[in-house]
Chain A
Amino acid sequence: MSQFKEKAKILNAEEIKRTLQRLAHQILESNPNLADIVLVGIQTRGVYLAKRIQATFQEIEAVDIPLGVLDITLYRDDLTTVGVRPVVKETKIDFDLTDKTVVLIDDVLFTGRTIRAALDELMDFGRPKIVALLVLIDRGHRELPIRADFVGKNIPTSKNETVEVRLQELDGLDEVAIGEKVLDTNGYESGANFHE
């Protein structure tokens, strides 16, 4: 496991709230036909952001936008690389994506590989009219030709830095921080049951 050494706070709770409200309005602005819009949050924090945007739609337009949950683990391109042994979480899209405008939601856009996996997975559920990407933070360093349509905040980072989005539902408070990952001295466990 690794530890996070924090350098600076980027957004506080109030700023996150206002940012999400702005993003909700931007979605409305570019898609006036609300009946066509569905939200899909990427596990884990993207799901909570999506729920908040759904609640904002409820407040300002009094409509319930369908919300799906996507776990991209099974579509990752690094399933067999060192140290990656992710836990498979729930995927749940119980509505038809065909001809919908899907707003895909994640907390941080970095290399773009998560989004590539999410797009592949979405296509296995149907054929949306448009897929748009919403992220709270875009920190750059793309490794694939992917861009976000709705961005909360652009943050220039160096590649070895980490952006952590903390949300009330999971972390007990709302904030975004930037820092560096420091590897533990004992590193990863390796308790395999392989006998020579």
Chain B
Amino acid sequence: MRKSNSINWTKKDLLDLENLSKEEIELILQTAASFKEVSAREVKKVPALRGKTVVNLFYEPSTRTRISFEIAAKRLSADVINIATETSSVRKGETLIDTGKNIEALKVDIIIMRHNYSGAAVMLARHLRASVVNAGDGWHEHPTQALLDMFTLREKLGRLEGLNVSIVGDIAHSRVARSNIWGLTKLGAKVTVCAPKILIPLSIEQMGVRVIHNIEDALAGADAINVLRMQFERDKEKAFPSQLEYFKSFGITKERLKSAKKNIIVMHPGPINRGVEMSSEVADGANSVILEQVTNGIAVRMAVLFLVAQANDYIKKNK
């Protein structure tokens, strides 16, 4: 008998990590590892999604995620269209479902959506035959960011199981934190979240994480630290009187890293506020993998687009 330990990807959408199995997450990471090589070729393009059309539908401003998805789709030979809702009919009052149905009527295969409402991607996916990839929905999830964080960690440390990962920053309003917690705990990592009390959501312990409020404790014994961006522009509650105040209490500095493991991995989903979440020395230092995260994001998004497109073809042909 031939060995067949690989599982198939059967979902037409990628909406969250909460509802993926450990095996499905591992399949994405394994597929991404194969795709990483494509971007290192002289001809950085494979014909896998030739003839497919991908729409980037962004209800919130985004540069890096949108460009990363666009590059991923283009390296798979798909055609990509970007819709920024500020300049579209959404401003005339069109509902999300109507917008989605209209895009689908243009025979689009995959819609990549960022939306300010939690659950928007799930709702859109239920109404469409086209694939939906969640590029961040409200405070809910940002699955591809967590996947690329996990991919980078695994590439650097060889495994995820048993790793101590600390997530620092505004946990309460962070979809990146939420997706990371789901993904990392499913794959056996031990997750600690660190923030002032006001930025930690109630009963987050139920997600299987340790909660602390002191940055030194978050660094002690950690194999990696994922530093979230302080979203001061959204901070209506004024959790912190000033950016300097935050830096003094929670900023990652060279001095603070001295108490941590020598090879601790420092991650940040970007864009960085230098001198707020971390010092420039740390951001550009030997422990930082911030730019590798950006590079890996392409491979992870290529894997996701490839897997959902294939599953959707399979579903359509078998209906």
A binding-site residues for B, Cβ under 8 Å: 1, 4, 71, 73-75, 79-83, 85, 87-92, 120-121, 124-126, 164, 170-171, 188-195
- A selection of 28 A-B contacts at a CB cut-off of 8 Å is A74-B38, A74-B47, A74-B48, A79-B48, A79-B313, A80-B317, A81-B317, A82-B314, A82-B317, A83-B314, A85-B8, A85-B314, A87-B27, A87-B31, A88-B303, A90-B33, A90-B37, A120-B47, A121-B46, A124-B41, A125-B41, A126-B42, A170-B2, A170-B3, A192-B11, A192-B314, A192-B315, A193-B12
Q: What's the least CB distance linking B199 to chain A, in Å?
A: 33
- Residue in chain B with minimal CB distance to A190: B318
B binding-site residues for A, Cβ under 8 Å: 1-4, 6, 8-13, 27, 30-31, 33-35, 37-38, 41-43, 45-48, 76, 126, 129, 303, 306, 310-311, 313-315, 317-318
Known A-B contacts A74-B46, A88-B306; the reply to A194 vs B12 at CB < 8 A is: yes
A154, B191: Cα distance in complex, Å: 57
- Residue in chain A with minimal CB distance to B34: A88
Known: A87-B27, A89-B34, A92-B37. 8 other contacts (CB 8 A): A73-B48, A85-B311, A87-B31, A91-B37, A124-B43, A124-B46, A189-B10, A190-B314
Q: What's the least CB distance linking A117 to chain B, in Å?
A: 9
For A87, what are the chain B residues with a Cβ–Cβ distance below 8 Å? 6, 27, 30-31
Contact of B318 among A79, A82, A170 (CB under 8 A): A82
Q: What's the least CB distance linking A40 to chain B, in Å?
A: 14
Q: What's the least CB distance linking B272 to chain A, in Å?
A: 32
For A121, what are the chain B residues with a Cβ–Cβ distance below 8 Å? 46
**Contact A190 B306, beta carbon cutoff 8 Å:** no
- Residue in chain B with minimal CB distance to A76: B48
Q: What's the least CB distance linking B309 to chain A, in Å?
A: 8
For A75, what are the chain B residues with a Cβ–Cβ distance below 8 Å? 46-48
A4, B315: Cα distance in complex, Å: 26
A174, B17: Cα distance in complex, Å: 42
A89, B313: Cα distance in complex, Å: 20
For A189, what are the chain B residues with a Cβ–Cβ distance below 8 Å? 8, 10
A125, B34: Cα distance in complex, Å: 16
Contact of A1 among B4, B33, B47, B303 (CB under 8 A): B4
Q: What's the least CB distance linking B181 to chain A, in Å?
A: 22
For A71, what are the chain B residues with a Cβ–Cβ distance below 8 Å? 34
For B313, what are the chain A residues with a Cβ–Cβ distance below 8 Å? 79-80
Q: What's the least CB distance linking B257 to chain A, in Å?
A: 34
**Contact A79 B310, beta carbon cutoff 8 Å:** yes
A91, B40: Cα distance in complex, Å: 11
A87, B314: Cα distance in complex, Å: 14
For B27, what are the chain A residues with a Cβ–Cβ distance below 8 Å? 87
A124, B230: Cα distance in complex, Å: 43
Q: What's the least CB distance linking B11 to chain A, in Å?
A: 5
Q: What's the least CB distance linking A25 to chain B, in Å?
A: 30
A75, B306: Cα distance in complex, Å: 12
A2, B303: Cα distance in complex, Å: 26
- Residue in chain A with minimal CB distance to B303: A88
